[in-house]
Structure 1
């Protein structure tokens, strides 16, 4: 196994980085008419503070951000030392609570003004209900609904992480082309993909789609026991996290020489993907990317067989806003990163998808994946 990527050593995020992110979150919340933001353990908490509890339990952990007060992280006492080490001195105030104490009584004074708060999507219902009981005058809305762009615009250090993740995914694809496909189960090729992602620096593998033959017509097919055959089209879609940021790429390969129809469908998807990337520029709407890719596929008669949005944002998670979909009029701005991944799916026969992560720059779109988008022939 070769190693075409260099070990990536990201520049650490600083206390000042986290302070600035939390300040922007408060400013955005105020602009959205919210009293503040409540952040439970998960990607939002990692993004805003750098803290990821080793175990997410029934004990209340919540970051409270509100105008006119310093950020406060409410944590169980037994987790306070880890939180303090992870966040760093001076970024926020820790307020810990011991088992046997009502945690909602500890958090309530921080929300005492009442009002409507944005809450990270993965907050436990029991914690929201506990806060509502302690503070009946409060109400809550999900952050995806209230502040969908909270993590959407990446700074230079985030972009460097995303580029490194993309390069590792590219190296993985180059290596998987060398393995044998015919006569092996989808699960075996998926395991190869996972091993390669880790080899090239991923700490977490989120998905390894291997959709062979008719299974490729299911965009989210889970690799299974099907034995890949000579003559199969095979959709490969894989990614995970490297240095805390995501990769996600798709290529479609063929076992042995493809038919003229298979090449034609692949060419249509490749042209559509290029059109979607070409539509990326500051000031364009998210839906413009979807429209550009979809127009090509529709022109060639496969419009009904493109059955999903053209793209999704990526960052500390592999799927997050913004979404490249009809009806999303939000404007693209430099620093946004998202997938461009049109596909054509012919039920019972085969599917084709081509996907790159694209970063918005002042000049347009910059691909973070650079592998060949042609139809590779594998054994």
Structure 2
């Protein structure tokens, strides 16, 4: 099977996780992981099952569906079939009294089913420790993200202008955009760690649609199809001359994402004042990128940028009206939204090969959301962009 994750890579990830656990939770004995993306990270496969990591033993992967597929696509050394949690529990001579779980993911019903057969007395979270394990990317992971970034650049900088024509609806544009994304190598789905979050293709909008309220925790907006599908794009809003076009989307290759936002001026340029505001957002992106060096602190980066902005510019910056978000960028990898975040309270220093999506944006009444977003790798020289350097507001005539 193509794209097998080598055992050496899986060992590196597991060893990093164990080191973080030993440092932050020196009393730990047993970790159980259920989330499919975390299973992919640690084992190279995404089965319905669980990974049991014991402090002084080799980890074991227990698979309900599909054991055959998992054996085919994973080099993880200890893969066992199970019909239920009972099967796994029966192999333990002594069941753990305390387990570490993904408390941000495990629903109560699953928790109770698991506890029925593993009657532990206490549990603690491992969400942060897993997130920080995943935060530093290996050369293999970076290669997938760089490929996604190159695909991303082609889609947004070269191919989207070919799709924009007067009278097309946002929904039809989204459909054509998805086809182009897949043609250019997109894996077909962009994943989010944020609970119960989905975006079908992109967060996109013509003109004022990009300011419309949404449940998504980001600076942009979109109308969507209706209340049941508040994403994709409106079937009624049609592109007209003079519109600002806003497209914010993730691209994936072999599970790993890049994130990029591009804006376009359809039919004629926007006013110089609007373009100046946009250019200031691009300048902010570049300032942040310069600070993406090992040892720098995300909170300090955020506060340095925000302290340098005028009160006037901060109005509708990073979100329109009362919907401003309190970050300038976020980690990215197997999900579009990973830790760390360029925000207050994130005080652990950056490490080389962390990856961030930096997205300074500003809403303009009656116009839409200007600004930019690109994906950067942390290096000693500052952030290295993997999604292209076009400043946005591309004129499409």
TM-score of Structure 1 vs Structure 2, range by shorter chain: 0.7 to 0.9
Runs of at least 5 residues in structure 2 that lack an aligned partner in the other structure: 191-200, 213-219, 223-230, 318-323
Cα gap change, 1:244 to 1:356, in 2 (>3 Å): same
Partner residue in 2 for 1:359 = 377
Contact 1:118 1:141 in 2 (8 A): yes
Q: How far, CA to CA, are the matches of 2:31 and 2:390 in structure 1?
A: 43
Partner residue in 2 for 1:6 = none
Q: How far, CA to CA, are the matches of 1:258 and 1:216 in structure 2?
A: 16
Q: How far, CA to CA, are the matches of 1:198 and 1:230 in structure 2?
A: 28
Aligned residues: 358
Contact 1:73 1:94 in 2 (8 A): yes
Contact 2:30 2:54 in 1 (8 A): yes
- Pick the aligned partner of 2:167 from 180, 183, 186: 183
Contact 2:43 2:74 in 1 (8 A): yes
Paired residue secondary structure (1:305):
coil
User: What does 1:91-130 align with in structure 2 at a 5 Å threshold?
Assistant: 91-98=76-83, 102-103=86-87, 105-106=89-90, 109=92, 112-119=95-102, 121-130=104-113
- Pick the aligned partner of 1:248 from 256, 259, 268: 259
Q: How far, CA to CA, are the matches of 1:94 and 1:179 in structure 2?
A: 47
Paired residue secondary structure (1:258):
coil
TM-score normalized with structure 2 length: 0.83
TM-score normalized with structure 1 length: 0.86
User: What does 1:22-33 align with in structure 2 at a 5 Å threshold?
Assistant: 22-33=14-25
- Pick the aligned partner of 2:303 from 279, 291, 294: 291
Partner residue in 2 for 1:168 = 151
Cα gap change, 1:327 to 1:97, in 2 (>3 Å): closer
Instruction: Quote the offset at 1:216 in angstroms.
Output: 1.7
2:186 aligned with 1:202:
yes
Instruction: Quote the offset at 1:303 in angstroms.
Output: 0.8
Cα gap change, 1:111 to 1:224, in 2 (>3 Å): farther
Deviations 1:166-219 (A, max 9, x none): 000000011112333432111222222212211111122433222211112241
RMSD over aligned Cα, in angstroms? 2.4
Partner residue in 2 for 1:273 = 285
Deviations 1:119-157 (A, max 9, x none): 274334323222334444443344333443020000111
- Pick the aligned partner of 1:38 from 27, 32, 36: 32
2:59 aligned with 1:67:
no
Partner residue in 2 for 1:321 = 339
Contact 1:190 1:209 in 2 (8 A): no
Cα gap change, 1:52 to 1:135, in 2 (>3 Å): closer
User: What does 1:197-236 align with in structure 2 at a 5 Å threshold?
Assistant: 197-206=181-190, 207-218=201-212, 219-221=220-222, 222=231, 223-225=233-235, 226-236=237-247
Q: How far, CA to CA, are the matches of 1:265 and 1:111 in structure 2?
A: 63
Contact 1:273 1:293 in 2 (8 A): no
Cα gap change, 1:224 to 1:184, in 2 (>3 Å): same
Q: How far, CA to CA, are the matches of 1:120 and 1:194 in structure 2?
A: 33
Contact 1:30 1:36 in 2 (8 A): no
Deviations 1:91-122 (A, max 9, x none): 332332236x8346347x38723224132743
